[in-house]
Amino acid sequence: MEGANRLKFSAVETEVDFTAPVSESRSMTAPPVIEISHDAQLVNSARDGNRAAFGELYGKYARVVHGILLARIPPEDVDDLLQDVFLHAMGKLHTLRDAAAFAGWLAAIARNRATDFHRRSREFVDLPEEVAEENPPVEEADAILAVIHSLPEAYRETLVLRLVEGLTGPEIAVRTGLTPGSVRVNLHRGMQQLREKLGQKSGEMP
C-alpha cells in the first residue's frame, strides 16, 4: 500500500491515516437510541435535498464503510469503491422506508458493492504471506491484513472495524445494524483465530 492509506497495527491501538475526510470520534457520545434518532433526522433532511445533511452522514459512516470494504477487497481499490457506495446511497435514499435503519442499509450496500467488485473482476491481489524481519511496518500491516482476510467474513469485518478503523464495540453495533452480542462474539472469536494464525506464521518464519 502506498500514499496516504497507511495501516499500523499494535497490540493496544491502531493508527490510521486515510485521504477521505472522516470523523475522528472514537467513543460513543450518546446512547444508541439518540444516535439513531439523529440519523433519521439527517436522512429526512438529505431526502429533501440538504447536501450538508448527507455530508454529515458521510462523515459519520465513511470509516464504517471503509472497514467493511477493506475486509473484502484489495486495499488499493477501497477508496474508489467507498465513494461509489455513498454515491449509490445518495441516489437510492428515497427507497429507504425507515430513516432510522440507515446504518444497516448503508452497510448492506457496502457489502453488496464488494460482492459486485469480485463479480466484475475475479483477479484478487494477494497480500504477502510471509513477513521478513527487515520489512518496513507498512508491509507488516499488509501481512496482518492478509491473515485477517483468511478469517470467516463476519470475524474479519468486525476485526477491521475495531483494529483498523478504531471503532468501539458499541459503535460497530450501532453503525452496522448488528446486535452488541454478535459484535462481542465476532470480536472475541476473531481475535482468537487471528492470534493463532499470527502465531503459526511466526513459527514458520526462519
Give me the domains of the chain, ranges plus CATH numbers: 25-204 (1.10.1740.10)
Query: Which helix (DSSP H) or strand (DSSP E) does residue 188 occupy?
Result: helix 180-204
Give pLDDT tens digits for 79-138: 999 999 999 999 999 999 999 999 999 999 999 999 888 776 543 333 334 333 334 355
Task: Write the DSSP symbol of residue 163.
Answer: I
Higher pLDDT, 199 or 191: 191
Cα separation of 92 and 35, whole Å? 22
The share of the chain scoring above pLDDT 70, in percent, equals 69
Lookup: cell for 101: 435503519
Per DSSP (E only), the strands in 12-165 are: 15-17
What burial letters (b/e) apply to 45-79, b meaning 16+ CB within 10 Å?
A: bbeeeeeebbebbbebbbbbbbbbbbbbbbbebbb
Instruction: Write down the mean pLDDT value for the chain.
Output: 76
Query: Which helix (DSSP H) or strand (DSSP E) does residue 58 occupy?
Result: helix 51-70
Give pLDDT tens digits for 17-47: 333 444 444 444 445 555 668 899 999 999 9
Cα separation of 72 and 78, whole Å? 9
Q: Mean pLDDT throughout 57-81?
A: 92
Higher pLDDT, 149 or 13: 149
